A and B are shown apart, each in its own frame.
Chain A
Amino acid sequence: MRLLITKDLSIKFGGLQAVNDLHIEVNNKEIVGLIGPNGAGKTTVFNLLTGVYPPSSGAMRLEGTSIIGMKPFEINRYGIARTFQNIRLFKNMTVADNIKVSMQQSMKYHTLSAMFRLPSYWKEEHRVDTEVRELLKIFDMEDVAEQIAANLPYGLQRKLEILRALACKPKILLLDEPAAGMNPTETHVLMEIIRSIRNRFDVAILLIEHDMSLVMNICERVYVLDYGNLIAEGTPEQVRSNQRVITAYLGN
């Protein structure tokens, strides 16, 4: 089933057409890659999908509902969560609290219950505590739960960012260069994590990545962007042999 569709999606910055008439589709539980040379407009697509920039024209639908004009937090609650190219954790909060921020929407207690520590506060905090611990356990991070996020090694920070997005319980997860700065071993582990996330949490994944081994290995379909235009789409094999893609990456 189609989960996310964009049609004729475009945005201009001044005179620059950053994204031009973009059509992409992501189906339920699919892992889709979005690739292209530097400056192709990939992150801009993420910013459009998450409501950071309003598109100049075009349509975006999640499960058939238009998400144009929604604010970033509304889109998140509607089912799209993301990570950032340059990690944006809540640096001075603990690992557990970073994740709890994403769960704040699911917690049902009133400000007054919080202020006066009414039973609903304890009940919900306890529930979320357990959930956070389980989530951290799945990803082998339970021992750093009470550490300050800024003190984590780089690889774990990247992982925490993915967990934080996942804790929003999205229908689709947008990963912006999750393997950036990782060595081949770490990248390999990351691949397994991404796969297991999809299988365990029933979530679709759209990812931007420069590491071609990762893209070719785990993506079921790939979109290729160049200067804001979609120049190819298909399975990794189809894209790899596409002449336009080769030209875009290597030049004539």
Chain B
Amino acid sequence: MDFIKHVINGLGLGSIYALVALGYTMVYGIVKLINFAHGDIIMVGGYMIYVVMVVLGLPVWLAIPAAIIICSLTGMIVERVAYRRLLVHNAARISLLITAMGVSIFLQNAFMLMFGTDPKSMPPLFPYGQIKLGGLELASTTVINIVVSLIMMFGLHLLVNKTKMGKAMTATSEDSEAAKLMGINTNRIISFTFALGSGLAAVAALLYCNTYPQVKTTMGNLLGLKAFVAAVFGGIGSVPGAMLGGYFLGVIESLTKAYISTTLTDAVVFGILIIMLLVKPTGLLGRNGKEKV
């Protein structure tokens, strides 16, 4: 029974990773960039929720759309200001990576100057309770996480597969040159992808604040790193892979905490990344993307 409980708690945690991993994987799929600033978008979302709920004293149902809008905008602005020029000029990959790193450091330090280095504690977002499921007692936060992440993923699935925008995204990630020739405005698609990924990051921020009731400026670092591991694990560029990787990583982390060591969980997660890259670098659901010669 305990084991099942740990697994479900892990799924709750993994819901956050999965939503963040989606942002990494979608951006990577479209522009082949590891967007280091993605983790910090979650931080932006966290502070937005803090500002709306604690500073302004408004209810949570206002904080959610505010965070989503601000994060999406931040994502779009980052792409427009920092990446667009390099993407258009087909700059070296390393320049893009360094720029992404620069954006990440900028966001963290700008927020540190605005809000200080101390963590800010958050009020409970939703009423807390224990939910009984057969013999299991689960925290309501865990259940909320899982349900919200599933809803988001279903929505994303519809968006990618059923809408014109989603199809244009798929086309751009397959072959952006060909997509351009077919009349797709790839710049707009890239912009939309950043907005979408950042919007999902805002939801991830919500679930994060729901799970750990505090925000700090460096919260995006380790969270972003783990979500990236999840994305690689599932196969970078693959949307279902990111979800799978996220849940898997959450479960691994929860089980490690329960049965091995609480302090070394991060090291275990990192070990998984190394082993995965050695054994199956394309990830669980990734395609064998050989460079064209």
Give the B-binding residues of A (Cβ under 8 A): 43, 47, 52-53, 84
Interface string of B280-293 (1 = CB under 8 A from A): 00000000001001
Interface string of B150-168 (1 = CB under 8 A from A): 0000000000000000000
Inter-chain contacts of A43 with B (CB < 8 A): 293
Query: 6 A–B contact pairs at CB < 8 A?
Result: A43-B293, A47-B293, A52-B290, A52-B293, A53-B290, A84-B293
Q: Which single residue of chain B is at the shortest CB-CB distance from A44?
A: B293
Inter-chain contacts of A52 with B (CB < 8 A): 290, 293
- The tally of CB-CB contacts under 8 A between chains A and B is 6
How near does chain A come to B221, taking the closest CB pair, in angstroms?
34
How near does chain B come to A236, taking the closest CB pair, in angstroms?
28
Q: Is the interface of A mostly helix, strand, loop or mixed?
A: loop
- Determine the distance from Cα of A69 to Cα of B290 in the docked complex, in whole angstroms: 17
Inter-chain contacts of A47 with B (CB < 8 A): 293
Q: Which single residue of chain A is at the shortest CB-CB distance from B290?
A: A53
Q: Which residues of B (35-69) have their CB < 8 Å from a CB of A?
A: none
Inter-chain contacts of A53 with B (CB < 8 A): 290
Inter-chain contacts of B290 with A (CB < 8 A): 52-53
How near does chain A come to B81, taking the closest CB pair, in angstroms?
28
Q: Which residues of B (235-293) have their CB < 8 Å from a CB of A?
A: 290, 293
Inter-chain contacts of A84 with B (CB < 8 A): 293
- Determine the distance from Cα of A47 to Cα of B290 in the docked complex, in whole angstroms: 12
How near does chain A come to B218, taking the closest CB pair, in angstroms?
38
- Determine the distance from Cα of A43 to Cα of B290 in the docked complex, in whole angstroms: 15
- Determine the distance from Cα of A84 to Cα of B293 in the docked complex, in whole angstroms: 8
Inter-chain contacts of B293 with A (CB < 8 A): 43, 47, 52, 84
- Determine the distance from Cα of A47 to Cα of B293 in the docked complex, in whole angstroms: 8
How near does chain A come to B248, taking the closest CB pair, in angstroms?
26
Q: Which single residue of chain B is at the shortest CB-CB distance from A14?
A: B287
- Determine the distance from Cα of A52 to Cα of B293 in the docked complex, in whole angstroms: 8
Q: Which single residue of chain A is at the shortest CB-CB distance from B291?
A: A52
How near does chain B come to A123, taking the closest CB pair, in angstroms?
36
- Determine the distance from Cα of A53 to Cα of B292 in the docked complex, in whole angstroms: 11
How near does chain B come to A81, taking the closest CB pair, in angstroms?
14
Interface string of B8-48 (1 = CB under 8 A from A): 00000000000000000000000000000000000000000
- Determine the distance from Cα of A43 to Cα of B293 in the docked complex, in whole angstroms: 8
Q: Which single residue of chain B is at the shortest CB-CB distance from A84?
A: B293
- Determine the distance from Cα of A52 to Cα of B291 in the docked complex, in whole angstroms: 10
- Determine the distance from Cα of A18 to Cα of B293 in the docked complex, in whole angstroms: 15
How near does chain A come to B129, taking the closest CB pair, in angstroms?
50
How near does chain B come to A193, taking the closest CB pair, in angstroms?
24
How near does chain A come to B281, taking the closest CB pair, in angstroms?
15
How near does chain B come to A77, taking the closest CB pair, in angstroms?
19
- Determine the distance from Cα of A43 to Cα of B292 in the docked complex, in whole angstroms: 11
How near does chain A come to B93, taking the closest CB pair, in angstroms?
15
